[in-house]
Amino acid sequence: MSICYLEKERLFWLDTPHSTYLIGIAAKEGFLGHVYYGQKLSDVSGALSLLRLSEPPFTPDVNDRDRSSFFDAFPFEYSSNGVGDFRESSLRICCTKNGQDAVSLVYKKHEIQKGKGKLIGLPATFGSEEEVTTLVITCEDPVTGIVVELSYSTFEDADAIARSVRIVNGSDDAVYLKKVMSACLDLEARDFDILTLHGSWARERIQERKPLGHGVFSVASLRGESSHQEHPFLALMGKDAGQDRGDVYGFHFVYSGNFLAMAQRSQFDQVRICMGIHPENFCWKLDPGESFQAPEVILVYSSEGLGGMTRSFHDLYRRHLIRSSYLHKNRPVLINNWEATYFDFNAEKLLDIAKESAKLGIEMLVLDDGWFGNRFDDNRSLGDWQVNEEKLQGSLGELVSKVNALGMKFGLWFEPEMISPDSKLYEAHPDWAIQIQGRRACRARNQLVLDVTRGEVREHILAQIFEVLHSANVEYVKWDMNRPLTDLGSANLPADRQGELCHRYVLGMYEMQERLLSEFPNLLLENCSGGGGRFDPGMLYYSPQIWCSDDTDAVERLRIQEGTALVYPLSCMGAHVSVCPNHTVGRSTPFATRGQVALAGTFGYELDVTKLSDEDKVCIPKQIRAYHALNEHIREGRYYRLASSLEKRDFDCFEIVREDEGAALVFATQVLATPNMRSRCIPLQGLCEDAKYRIYEVSLEKEELMEDTENVVSGGILMHAGLILKRPWGDFKTQLLYLERIS
């Protein structure tokens, strides 16, 4: 069993394949303290000394006159509030009787169980009794009657720990939860760097590393979604940590709404990490006996640098988070009509695109925005999910049948959470929009947000969507969300529950997606939010892929996809080949380069194929065949980052190793050419040191492996010395190498 309790030592011992996590019970009162998290231990004798219980200020049962000093330094497993710990708190409540918010938790009991239960209404990791062990530690505040259940799940096949928190009101009066963090971790004094992902629309998830100084550093979202701007992830890194060496602690929040992730370096150089729902605009009423389930946080420790952390997240999400039947399948190569037509289309134009696409081997046509209601621009009709048969020159079923007759599948775009003020739905139910009465509405893209906390709203929207999907053979849905939440008011919630709106909104959205998949279990769902504004682990529970960014420029996508791949499997990243000059940045890159960059994701096209040059058209069948030949390797292989265009703007390189086949793919992109330079020497990773590898250059244009018969190199040379990579001539050039193990 990977979790045990050492009763004599009062120590909880949690193991993953390569890490150990220790929790101790201190003093007679039963304070729960974090003891250790790091490389796997075979013997934990003397571990409790790390709590420093034998040095001043000592524990309160020995020195109660300095209880505050004890609280201010003790490494709490779930930090208290208002009783002497002046660092970041994990839980803050307001008691209706006296209005006070102090909380101090002590250990009451625990249970170790095989398997892992669901988090009701929330996405969460899963696993069988053979794959997962779960520890639930119950703590209590004897004064307020608040009970806190801390859950820890370890996975037999992944170096990860899933943590979550459940709050129970054990008092006889209502309380208000003003802050509930899902995880807290106090680490020993160390000089850390902190790594986060930041950005904006069209430049999401860009890595940023900086020293962690004294005080508090945080990333957060108050937009009602995980956001383009900041990401629910952070990592602590040792100063010497890099891609393949050093200690890294990664934290990722399985949630799609407002979040706070913070790191605090204290006066004693201890570091506290807290992660959970953002306390601003959050206040949850708990009546006596009621409970609140907080979302889950994933913890990963790696002694093999960022690369080890990355592969642990990839393993966990592929094995224990993504549920879709498409997880281990090649996705259909689609063409989306958005950048080809925008709102200017009819059935004839769509069928012209479909006919030309089918000839070239494209497998699915996706009809984006503009097919419903009076939707001829983005100023109207959101919420009116009835097919505009005049625009489509017939029913949706007729159009889909014609597309299917070409041998293509069909997909459809929705934005179910939004409402246009100029719509039949708003005219009938203006109170269904999130709004503050008497305040001028804050519009974005001239649209408002539906209050999906309301059951009748969810029922109405889903009924429309189900009717559309049942009317035709729609096999793919793109679920979009194009604006943040503002004007936080619900006509359905009483005054003392208005602070529940943002979290209830996320729960309502999760319920809608769960019901969509229950109604259409074979549907391929792709989530989107103005590009990558809601790209988070919570959404992966419902959709195996998420649109990575509205910026499809190949050069910009290098760093966007690098940041995304830091924590997400490549098969999650929606990636398309688009037209040049690129619609977002105006850059022109070779068609082959756009294709190779998109191969590192789900792969598809976002252009008008009828207007492509013959030179570009001839590339499409070759790229599609390459996708089907290589995608299993890309989708299932282990990812190694070799060079970053963020660090050196001229070059980008990563490797994908299939350990079961003894083969590797190396993706390289020369962003900018440099004069008078020799070939590059790139040390590889993940190979067998004693094996020999034959190296082929893969030509997508010629559809062949170009073998240098003398190019057989040992794994040791390739990893410790490097692979010689010739520099191509020109900017924005890609190279793809295949390494076959021959001994």
User: Encoding tokens for residue 571?
Assistant: 């098969």
How far is 59 from 76, CA to CA, in rounded Å?
13
How far is 144 from 171, CA to CA, in rounded Å?
7
User: Encoding tokens for residue 266?
Assistant: 């204290």
- Under DSSP, the state recorded for 728 is P
Kind and range of the H or E element at 716?
A: helix 715-716
How far is 134 from 152, CA to CA, in rounded Å?
5
How far is 453 from 492, CA to CA, in rounded Å?
8
How far is 649 from 671, CA to CA, in rounded Å?
7
480 classed as catalytic: yes
User: Contact 356/610 with Cβ under 8 angstroms?
Assistant: yes
378 classed as catalytic: no
User: Contact 294/277 with Cβ under 8 angstroms?
Assistant: yes
Within 10 angstroms of residue 639's Cβ, the number of other Cβ atoms is 22
Sheet holding 476-479, edge to edge: 573-574, 545-547, 524-527, 476-479, 409-414, 364-367, 334-336, 604-606, 577-578
Within 10 angstroms of residue 716's Cβ, the number of other Cβ atoms is 14
User: Encoding tokens for residue 402?
Assistant: 């014609």
Catalytic residue among 101, 159, 451, 550: 550
Largest separation between any pair of C-alpha atoms in the chain: 84
How far is 25 from 278, CA to CA, in rounded Å?
29
- Give every CB contact of residue 523 below 8 A, 6+ residues apart in sequence: 469, 474, 475, 476, 477, 516, 517
Name the amino acid, one letter, at 455: G
- Give every CB contact of residue 21 below 8 A, 6+ residues apart in sequence: 14, 15, 36, 37, 152, 154, 161, 299
At residue 422, the 3 state secondary structure works out as coil
Q: Which residue has the tokens 């930090």?
A: 79
How far is 21 from 12, CA to CA, in rounded Å?
8
DSSP H stretches of helix in 394-536:
396-405, 424-428, 455-470, 501-519
User: Contact 260/90 with Cβ under 8 angstroms?
Assistant: no
How far is 731 from 712, CA to CA, in rounded Å?
29
Catalytic residue among 480, 536, 553, 616: 480
- Give every CB contact of residue 440 below 8 A, 6+ residues apart in sequence: none
Nearest by Cα to 204 from 683, 573, 569: 573
Within 10 angstroms of residue 690's Cβ, the number of other Cβ atoms is 9
Torsion (CA) 533, 281, 456, 287 in degrees, nearest 10:
140
Distances 227 to 26, 153, 483, 500 between C-alpha atoms, Å: 40, 27, 10, 19
Q: How far is CA 155 from the centre of its chain?
A: 19
User: Encoding tokens for residue 581?
Assistant: 């000059």
- Under DSSP, the state recorded for 609 is G
Sheet holding 663-670, edge to edge: 638-643, 651-658, 663-670, 733-741, 692-699, 704-714
Catalytic residues, by residue number, are: 480, 550
